[in-house]
Amino acid sequence: MGRPRTSAKILELRGAFRKDPQRKRIDAEGAGPFEKDPPAEMPADVVPTWHAIVERLPKIVLTSSDEFAVEQAAYCLSGIRQLGPMAALHPGFGKLSAELRQWLIQLGMTPQARTKIAPLGDDGPKGNRFADT
């Protein structure tokens, strides 16, 4: 299976188009702004987990289209938390943990995933660092 295509917004934040402007493309826009409130149909015991995830999300490229991914991550994390202190011994823990990890990676919530997102306003190095030598 091939590597998934990187979002044009992520490439722009990384500075890929400064080096190679002809690569610039426009991806489909999300459905609207990201909604911080949980979906109305979300069970009450999962709502605190939703809020915990949303307050920690990198907010650079989120749209309302990402709410389903956040919802799935909230269900996974809530499920792990409900298993209690002996969660690692539960037969379903491995699968639930692996699924949560994948959602967190997709949302940019792991150390490695955050390295792929540049901070807002970062235009990369300025000028020629060898000019004064």
What mean pLDDT comes out for the span 104-131? Answer: 71
For residue 109, give its domain range.
31-114
Q: Dihedral sign for Cα 26, 31, 33, 37, please.
A: negative
Count of domains observed in the chain: 1
Q: What is the pLDDT of residue 116?
A: 73
Tens of pLDDT, residue by residue over 23-58, are: 888 877 767 888 899 999 999 999 999 999 999 988
Distance CA 108, CA 105 (A): 5
Query: Considering the domain boundaries, does residue 97 fall inside one?
Result: yes
Percent of all residues in the chain with a pLDDT value above 90, rounded to a whole number: 34
Query: Considering the domain boundaries, does residue 3 fall inside one?
Result: no
Query: Considering the domain boundaries, does residue 37 fall inside one?
Result: yes
Query: Considering the domain boundaries, does residue 130 fall inside one?
Result: no
Query: Considering the domain boundaries, does residue 126 fall inside one?
Result: no
Query: Considering the domain boundaries, does residue 127 fall inside one?
Result: no
Task: With beta carbons less than 8 A apart as the criterion, state whether 40 and 56 touch.
Answer: no
Residue 85 pLDDT more than 90?
no
3-state class (DSSP) for residue 33: strand
Centroid of chain to Cα 83: 25
Query: Considering the domain boundaries, does residue 133 fall inside one?
Result: no
